[in-house]
Structure 1
Amino acid sequence: MKRLSLQKRFLLTGCSAAAMLAAPAYAQGDEIIVTAQKREESIQNVPLAITAFSGDFTREVNLDDVKDLVKFTPGATGNSADSFIDTLSMRGILTNDFGAGGDPSIGLFKNGLYQGRNGAVVTSLYDMERAEILRGPQGFLFGRNAIGGAISVHTAKPNFDGYNGYAEFDIAERSRLFGEGAINIPLSDVFAVRIAGYGGHEDGYVDNLARPGTDPQIEPEKYAGRFSALYSDGAFEGLFTAEYENRKQSGSLYRATELGDSWETLQDIFGITGLRGDGRDIDSDQGLGEADDSEVLSFGLELNYDFGPVTLTSLTGYKDHEFTYAEDFDGTPLRINDYAQDQEGNYFEQEMRVVSNGDGPLSWYAGASYYHEEIDVLFSQGSSEEVMCDYYLTYYGINSCSEYFAYYYYAFTPAAEGLLESNAVRGRYHGWAAYVDATLALSDKFDVGVGLRYSKDVKKFGIQGLPVASQLGPYFALGYTTDGFIEDKGSWDAFTPRFIARYYPADDWTIFASATRGFKAGGFGSFTIQTDGLTYCGPFDDSCLNLTNADATPDPFDPEKVWSYETGVKGKLFGGMTRIDANAYYYEYKDLQVTVAGMGGGILVENVGNVKGWGFEGSATTDLGEFFDLYLAGAYADTEVTQASPLCDGTLDCEGAALGYVPKFSGAARLGFHYPAGPGEIRAAAEIFGQTTTYGNLLHTAEAVNDGYADLSLRLGYASEAGWSVMGYVENVTNELYYDGVADGSGIIPAHYFGPSRPRTFGVLLNVEFGE
């Protein structure tokens, strides 16, 4: 089951946030300008948790997709090389339920439009204008709620500066060849178009010793294209965008840690002596394959009209996607739990917003939004019939399925596909929201702000347990089958406020404090159903087969809630050469949507536990003389979990424990160098990001420990005034082996690492710009 033992590892939390300064989003004079609050503002004045990266920065440091942004964003961790965002965390908030019946805790947006869920949400970074990463509840800034934070990317728009564009090629080891480029074409004084493309392939770097002769895995192959058209005439502006992306890569790769009771039991029963290969290799049967393929087509239309006192904005978006995924969850050569997901869906959204333009003491914005989503998923879990029989029956002296069935005077006939349990999910969701935010300047140095949002989400959900060909029945991963879809409908609504006070003690300095309420709607679990009196069934017992709505209902869960508090300071030193910020935050998170054991071996989503968290964050960006610049950022986080016994084997041993997957310290740094040489300049950079140790459960047991790491990259090249550049690089210079995460063992599933790091890579970036 996909990330099954995350039920003890990924307990959602909430937190506040601190504004971080990295590379400029875009600049006006000496100021870094962002639009997080629906108007252009200096990042130094925005009382929010925001990190801004320019499109040039994302290209220079070779960020591949939207999740890579967390590498340089303090307090954000959990990057992974797949199409899921269930490990993506902002100071502890993440999406524990990886099914299709809930909502992501971290919202991802492109050009103001919501990007959706696993399989559709991860987008490649190419021809970017900027990215803004906001931490803490963001329900008052976007059309959809984002209880943990938001990543908002903005692609480059067409412009009227003339015919121009660029092309860039990334050539590296393992036959890596990726390219991106764009052409800007002004067709008149008021109409321009832009065409951008991206694509390439890289050979894999992970060998699977259980499948000799197959190609190395984590082998990305991606192709994407975007068409944008801009009409701008006086007070009116319209931007249309159409985009297509096709991604092919490996699903998450798992390797058992070879520690803990679950592993020792597998050794005793099956005689496993150890996994083959080194830590970056895997030894997995991958009975359902290792695909991670997505096709995503999206359209967006933004209309703006400046009425003078206010600007009216309309945002319309539509997205359609298909997603195929497979992984071997147990991380062993035994066929214990292979997982697959076949998904298709579409998403429509409409938002209307009004923003004040005046220079008076009162500034405000207000809006309303609507969405409609259709999602259909087939989940499959495969295992070996003999492995299941041997594991679960060896205690009784039975070592095969034939012996077991013979005991009950039946003959056993193996199924051609082994033990394959599948269930289908059908979701039809819609919702709407309205929000308003106002800031009143009480003096030249002090202002206060209040925001309020109302949200309502309605979900019609159906789940169907499909027939199982194996005589063992659906009793290992699901525990049931149904006669058609079992359906239910739920709705959830909430008012969520935000309060901000901001003080300007001097020019270029801002002190602020805020309190924010966060909310995420409830939903339905994608794997387990609820029944009256039926808690477990097994072979030779048909009471859990062909259930109907009269016998069972889908698995409902309630909303999550958080109160988040922060105080921070931003300022400039040394005549503006150095920008700094520092924050302290505290939060209380309740009714966490977490996964626990359901019927059979299935997953039940319940509201469990409370979390209190606090931390400090800070950053500094400075010019070190004429030729050097430095960016430093770091975060400290601590948490305390209570009332979470379902995540601790029903005991109170986890009371007061810290969330295992949240590193105590995380951070990043970048030292840049530029020196004039001929008709251009020499450029160099050293970049490093990393974090301290994390764990796979609340008890921080030794079987599931992910050691801390630091990933160093070096770059050296030349940029010509003629518009071309060449930059050589070495990424992961020390060939550091680390993992995206670790999960603890549970029953037959051993503790395992997932997502081995990309090895040391030598490459070169070639770039040329052209046009008027």
Structure 2
Amino acid sequence: MNIIRNISTIFNSTACQDSHVHAENGSAKASLSLSTKKSSLAIAIAGTIALGPVAEAMAKKDMEVIMVTVNKRSESLLEVAGSVQVLDENLLQDFQLDEMDSVVDFIPNATFSAAPSGTPVLAIRGIGTRAGGAMLEQDVGLFIDGVWAGRNNQMQAGLMDVGMIDIVKGTQATLYGRNALVGAISVTTKKPGDRFGGYFQISNEFEYGSKAVEGAIDIPVNDKLAFRVAGMYEEVGGWIHNDGVGRDEPESENSSVRITGVYYTDNDWTITGKLQTSNQEQVGNSFVRLLEGQFTEFDGTDRFTPAAEPPTALRGFSETAFGVDIIAPILTNADIGSERDFVDTSLKLDIPVGDYEITAITGFNQMDYTAAFDPSILGGPRVVAWYDEEYEQFTQEIRLTSPAEDDFNYIVGVYYVDQTVDRLTFQYLNNDQRFWYGEQDMSAWSVFASSTYSINETLRLITGARYTDEGKDADIIVHGNREDDGVYANATDSIDESTLDGSITLEFDGSDSLLIFGGIATGSKRPGLASGNPVNNTDFVGANSLFIPTEEILTFEVGFKYEMANGYINATVFDMDISDFQNASFNNGNLVISSFDVDSRGIELDTYHYLTDEITLKTGFGVMDVEDVSNNAEVSGAPKFSANVTLTYESDALISNFISRASVNISHKSSHWLNATVGESNQYNEIDAVTLLNANMSLSHLDSGIKVSLFVKNLTDEEYADFSYNAPGANNDYIFGVAKGRTIGLEAKYSF
């Protein structure tokens, strides 16, 4: 009861908090609706904790051990201090979580939105690199098989043949680096099995006519070498009607192929190599354009009429500026859309050295991205934007891991990254043009160490430190829309900075079932290159620096993990102070790059229970208060309350020779700002609370390996926007990114 009283006290005394409940295993999932009031949430948490003994008496099977690698070594989820969630293969398949935006819907205290410029925003605890900051790095790190994805755009690559996704919140500078100020998402793809087999699945979605095929096959060559080949192809139908072109948007065609090989040497080395190529082609986008005065908030509009193309867009642009060819194609309303090509390769060596292990991970990523976007509306200013980006990145990490069972164990390592980004942001403006072209070369190296010292049998001290030296060279060419034709400006800048980040955490075993922890961590993100749409050349050339300041964070966390025979409870209280948060926002159609200080504090709670042999409950809650303290304003992407609850039923006794499975999920996020903070020119950027109901029912035939599933997402057809900004012009027009409505489909899978 002390735990219940303490949790209730925290919820009633903290200004704004967060709790996340997480239940996972491969059984079924469902969801319950929860009050957004703090007092009600405290009661809900107390009820969940009190449920433990009752559920323990009902459960007949042992708690499944969930293994994670968020600390760069394999360990039980309940041994990891901090807020960690796991989305396993069953959960990913039940709810068709094949894109990052749908994954984030299942993570309390997290939001995801995609801007027309191709800069998706993933925020955790209200902090995430904002839309429009195309040359800024992330506050949330995405890692795929241990390799950092260095561009926000890579978050929009489809998730295929994935085994597990781990989400760790809080500052992770020691082991993950400067790009994980508020958390990291780790995606683990499936590796080859030791026998021939695989799967093939097809799905058809009825509301928008989407179709997909996916499959994988394991090919063991011998007892030392095996390959896994996986691929997918999908056609996605649109849900916004463009009256000007006469089509539903966005329609997309996506494909991906991955080859993974694992080789076991005679001296016990494990060598894992991976090559993946992906292509995404999208026609149109999910944005509607509305005039101020037509509504007081997003009203569910799902069609629009674009303005006529600017005369300049029908002529195209091809000029040479300072030896660089600046090219933007002829663009009509029918050309609006985007294309992304990804190449991802990695090589991992696991080398045992006695009781120690050396791990070396080499990664190479390449991306080509083009997009055309039309922010104009009928009767409004005529603007068409063109984006063209090429990106390459090489990373190398080497680390030494000591035995975990030692009283003093550690991980030490080195890391190197080399990255090149070339990006053109071009806008046709009536009869004028403006563009920003930038080349940025970045290289950085780090040394890091993390250690755990057992002071006694129940108390441990965990420390970490990371030193990073980073240099960036930038070369930009700009042409403002108020400049004469052919008048371009060039500017260069460079930075070279080093930082030392670290963390200290205390762990205490209150009992065999209770882990209590508390700690402090610092992190930093290097100066970002400011990019945008210049009005005058001097907007950039006359600036003191092309970079905005280094972003720094100080994080405090305390919490506990409590294990029962049938589940667990994980609670974390956090307080984060961010200095010089690197922000990008839209103001009357212009992109503004700025920095300001932010405070984020709250509580996260996640639980998991076997209610019976056949029923599991997984819950996650988050409450947070995030404030722009520099301007005394709210922050976008920061709902004060969020919840995710999943109930799953799975049985082999309901129908003979079949496994019956049903999952129900409710995901809720309270009202929050989509783009800029509170302001007279952004009054429509706030959306109401959103609650999504998702479900899946499946039958798996035990003998044939055939599984048939009926899935539904957003069952109640909730109408809401997931992005917004006010467009150029005196009309103060608004553009909203409209989230997809209800989808219902069938999927058939054959495993062999």
TM-score interval for Structure 1 and Structure 2 normalised by the shorter chain = 0.7 to 0.9
- 1:639 deviates by 2.3
Q: 2:547 aligns with which of 550, 556, 560?
A: 556
Aligned to 2:254: 222
Separation in 1 of the partners of 2:297 and 2:21?
Answer: 42
Separation in 1 of the partners of 2:263 and 2:591?
Answer: 50
Q: Render the CA deviation track for 1:438-461: whole Å, top value 9, x for unaligned.
A: 011112211011100111221110
Aligned to 1:268: none
Q: Which amino acid aligns with 2:627?
A: E
**2:170 is the alignment partner of 1:136:** yes
Q: Render the CA deviation track for 1:489-545: whole Å, top value 9, x for unaligned.
A: 11222111111111111123211112110210002212378xxxxxx86xxxxxx59
- What SS does structure 2 have at the residue aligned with 1:21? coil
- Superposition RMSD on alpha carbons, in Å? 3.1
Aligned to 1:671: 647
**2:226 is the alignment partner of 1:248:** no
Detail structure 1 runs of 4+ shifted over 6 Å in the superposition: 15-19, 25-29, 272-277, 478-481
Aligned to 2:618: 631
- What SS does structure 2 have at the residue aligned with 1:57? helix
Asked whether the 8 Å contact 1:524–1:605 carries over to 2, the reply is no
Q: Matches of residues 268-667 of structure 1 in structure 2 within 5 Å?
A: 279-285=301-307, 287=309, 288=331, 289-329=335-375, 334-384=380-430, 418-466=431-479, 474-475=481-482, 483=488, 485-527=490-532, 555-573=546-564, 576-595=565-584, 603-608=591-596, 610-644=597-631, 655=632, 657-667=633-643
Q: 2:710 aligns with which of 728, 734, 737?
A: 728
Separation in 2 of the partners of 1:276 and 1:439?
Answer: 51
- 1:193 deviates by 0.7
- 1:329 deviates by 3.3
Distance 1:312 1:499, change over 3 A: same
Q: Matches of residues 717-756 of structure 1 in structure 2 within 5 Å?
A: 717-722=698-703, 723-743=705-725, 748=730, 750=732, 752-756=734-738
Distance 1:510 1:358, change over 3 A: closer
- What SS does structure 1 have at the residue aligned with 2:434? strand
Q: Render the CA deviation track for 1:733-754: whole Å, top value 9, x for unaligned.
A: 1111011133357864736353
Asked whether the 8 Å contact 2:410–2:450 carries over to 1, the reply is yes
Asked whether the 8 Å contact 2:426–2:433 carries over to 1, the reply is yes
**What is the TM-score when the length of structure 1 is the normalising length?**
0.81
Aligned to 1:55: 89
**2:665 is the alignment partner of 1:683:** no
Distance 1:300 1:661, change over 3 A: closer
Asked whether the 8 Å contact 1:286–1:328 carries over to 2, the reply is no
Separation in 1 of the partners of 2:404 and 2:152?
Answer: 41
Separation in 2 of the partners of 1:590 and 1:481?
Answer: 40
- 1:342 deviates by 0.7
- 1:224 deviates by 0.1
Distance 1:371 1:383, change over 3 A: same
Asked whether the 8 Å contact 2:514–2:560 carries over to 1, the reply is yes
**2:154 is the alignment partner of 1:115:** no
**2:107 is the alignment partner of 1:39:** no
- 1:719 deviates by 1.2
Q: Which amino acid aligns with 1:315?
A: I
Asked whether the 8 Å contact 1:20–1:52 carries over to 2, the reply is no
Distance 1:49 1:761, change over 3 A: same
Separation in 2 of the partners of 1:683 and 1:419?
Answer: 59
Q: Render the CA deviation track for 1:48-86: whole Å, top value 9, x for unaligned.
A: 322111223212210122332211111111244979454
**2:204 is the alignment partner of 1:183:** no
Q: Render the CA deviation track for 1:324-378: whole Å, top value 9, x for unaligned.
A: 1122335666344432211112111111111112522111101111111111111
Distance 1:251 1:520, change over 3 A: farther
Separation in 2 of the partners of 1:679 and 1:25?
Answer: 19
- What SS does structure 2 have at the residue aligned with 1:120? helix
Asked whether the 8 Å contact 2:19–2:622 carries over to 1, the reply is no
**What is the TM-score when the length of structure 2 is the normalising length?**
0.83
Aligned residues: 672
Greater alpha carbon shift after TM alignment, 65-74 vs 162-171: 65-74
Separation in 2 of the partners of 1:368 and 1:642?
Answer: 36
Q: Which amino acid aligns with 2:723?
A: G
Aligned to 2:24: 23
Q: Render the CA deviation track for 1:546-591: whole Å, top value 9, x for unaligned.
A: x997x77762211011101111111123xx2122111211111111
- 1:317 deviates by 0.8
Asked whether the 8 Å contact 2:167–2:185 carries over to 1, the reply is yes
Asked whether the 8 Å contact 2:172–2:180 carries over to 1, the reply is yes
Separation in 2 of the partners of 1:641 and 1:285?
Answer: 36
Q: Which amino acid aligns with 2:642?
A: S
Higher relative contact order (CA 8 A, sep 6+): 2
Separation in 2 of the partners of 1:273 and 1:49?
Answer: 40
Q: Which amino acid aligns with 2:552?
A: K
- What SS does structure 2 have at the residue aligned with 1:322? strand
- 1:144 deviates by 5.3
Separation in 1 of the partners of 2:269 and 2:177?
Answer: 22
- What SS does structure 1 have at the residue aligned with 2:101? helix
Aligned to 1:414: none
- 1:121 deviates by 4.0
Asked whether the 8 Å contact 2:19–2:620 carries over to 1, the reply is no
- 1:35 deviates by 0.6
Q: Which amino acid aligns with 1:731?
A: K
- 1:674 deviates by 2.1
Q: Which amino acid aligns with 1:284?
A: P
Asked whether the 8 Å contact 1:194–1:229 carries over to 2, the reply is yes
Separation in 2 of the partners of 1:164 and 1:596?
Answer: 49
Separation in 1 of the partners of 2:411 and 2:18?
Answer: 22
Separation in 2 of the partners of 1:308 and 1:19?
Answer: 40
Distance 1:641 1:281, change over 3 A: same
Separation in 1 of the partners of 2:200 and 2:514?
Answer: 40
Asked whether the 8 Å contact 1:20–1:50 carries over to 2, the reply is no
Q: Render the CA deviation track for 1:431-482: whole Å, top value 9, x for unaligned.
A: 111110001111221101110011122111011124xxxxxx722xx99976
Distance 1:280 1:81, change over 3 A: farther
Gaps of 5+ in 1: 1-14, 265-271, 385-417, 467-472, 530-535, 538-543, 645-654
Distance 1:83 1:687, change over 3 A: farther
Distance 1:274 1:331, change over 3 A: farther
- 1:22 deviates by 4.1
